[in-house]
């Protein structure tokens, strides 16, 4: 016997919001009881944990509401993880290229997770492409901003023998990928 559509989808969203608020409240209570100051160093957890909860809630639900929550959870989790790395390292200027991990990357994480749990090949494929795009943009912009401009310190590619090799390798990779792409079937 299969269950029909949920007669009150807003009820699920309200329950999920309640769980998120309970977890965040629990973290604040843990901070007060333990004396550990999460606010100073662990504050990104207040973004990561709700993001993970949204992601879990999204993959637990079916339909467009589940997909939407999974995407929101993926984006929120990735933002929190980036903030945790930046908070630990002090490299706040990396937002100049870390955005690529948030937009396409976080969206890809949500779609990929939802697609894997619900065995949706279309979402797995779309999520993997979005995540790959985000990672590629992050790497390319990171090489430029850090290696050529030196956004967070001394540029490591400028005035070195590495830059020409990286550019040649990137060119070869782009050509190789364009040659192996599947061509549309002739009609």
How would you write the pLDDT of the chain (187 residues) with one tens digit per residue?
Answer: 444 455 565 676 677 778 777 877 887 787 788 877 766 667 888 889 889 988 988 888 888 888 999 999 999 999 999 999 998 888 899 999 999 999 899 999 999 999 999 999 999 999 999 999 999 999 989 888 888 888 888 877 777 777 778 778 888 988 888 887 766 655 5
Residues 118 and 59 sit within 8 Å (Cβ to Cβ): yes
Per-residue confidence (pLDDT) for residue 78, from 0 to 100:
95
Residues 109 and 127 sit within 8 Å (Cβ to Cβ): yes
- Would you say the pTM of this structure is higher than 0.95? no
Counting beta carbons within 10 angstroms of the beta carbon of residue 116, is it exposed (0 to 12), middle (13 to 18) or buried (19 or more)?
middle
Q: Where are the domains of the chain?
A: 9-152
Per-residue confidence (pLDDT) for residue 99, from 0 to 100:
93
Residues 134 and 108 sit within 8 Å (Cβ to Cβ): yes
How many whole angstroms separate alpha carbon 7 and alpha carbon 168?
58
Residue 2's φ and ψ, nearest 5 degrees, are -100, 145
């Amino acid at each position: 016997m299969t269950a029909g559509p949920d007669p009150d989808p807003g009820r699920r969203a309200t329950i999920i919001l309640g769980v998120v608020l309970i977890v965040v409240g629990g973290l604040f209570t843990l901070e007060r009881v333990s004396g550990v100051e999460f606010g100073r160093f662990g504050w990104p957890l207040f973004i990561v944990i709700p993001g993970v909860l949204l992601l879990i809630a999204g993959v637990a639900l079916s339909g467009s509401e589940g997909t939407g929550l999974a995407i929101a959870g993926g984006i929120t989790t990735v933002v929190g993880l980036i903030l945790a790395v930046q908070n630990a390292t002090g490299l706040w200027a990396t937002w100049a290229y870390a955005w690529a991990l948030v937009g396409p990357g976080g969206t890809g994480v949500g779609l990929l997770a939802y697609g894997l749990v619900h065995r949706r090949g279309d979402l797995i494929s779309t999520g993997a492409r979005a995540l790959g795009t985000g990672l590629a943009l992050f790497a390319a912009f990171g090489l430029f901003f850090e290696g050529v401009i030196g956004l967070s310190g001394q540029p490591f590619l400028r005035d070195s023998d590495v830059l020409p090799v990286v550019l040649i390798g990137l060119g070869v990779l782009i050509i190789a990928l364009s040659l192996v792409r599947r061509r549309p079937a002739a009609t």
